[in-house]
Amino acid sequence: MPWKSKGEKAEAADRAGARLARQATVEVAGLLGKRDMSRADLARLMGVSPGRVSQILSGDENLTLRSLAAVAEALQLDVKISFVEPKDDGPRRAHGLGDGSDAFVYAP
């Protein structure tokens, strides 16, 4: 294995991070849809360019908590992050909490 190669755990963490970022952007897109808002509307509320909102919602694995917080602030929402024990029911995935909220749980 080349010396620059990531270890198996690091690669798994990268994949999990990318999936989590995609799920977060899907959640934001869903919120915009529920509110009949466009990305341009969100950009105006955030005080950023529409291009910046597109970057945030691109599903980039480098999506930051600060970016999510800025989106939440613009939408007058809070972000909820929970760590939970994984279920042993097959492949792990992101899913809604089922409590009527817009929160989700991600199991890598």
Residue 85 domain-assigned (yes or no): no
Residue 13 domain-assigned (yes or no): yes
The tens digit of pLDDT for each residue in 42-83 reads 999 999 999 999 988 887 767 889 999 999 999 999 999 888
For residue 91, the model assigns a pLDDT of 58
The tens digit of pLDDT for each residue in 11-47 reads 888 888 888 888 899 999 999 999 999 999 999 999 9
Q: Could you list the residue range(s) of the whole structural domain that residue 30 is in?
A: 8-80
State the total domains in the chain. 1
Q: Which DSSP string do the residues of the chain spell out, in sequence order?
A: --TTPPPHHHHHHHHHHHHHHHHHHHHHHHHHHHTT--HHHHHHHHTS-HHHHHHHTT--TT--HHHHHHHHHHTT--------PPPSSSS--EEE-SSSSS-EEE--
Residue 41 domain-assigned (yes or no): yes
Residue 88 domain-assigned (yes or no): no
Rounded distance between C-alpha atoms, residue 62 and residue 78, angstroms: 20
For residue 13, the model assigns a pLDDT of 87
Residue 104 domain-assigned (yes or no): no
Residue 57 domain-assigned (yes or no): yes
For residue 89, the model assigns a pLDDT of 61
Residue 95 domain-assigned (yes or no): no
Residue 94 domain-assigned (yes or no): no
Report the CATH number at residue 45: 1.10.260
Q: In the predicted model, what is the mean pLDDT of the chain?
A: 82
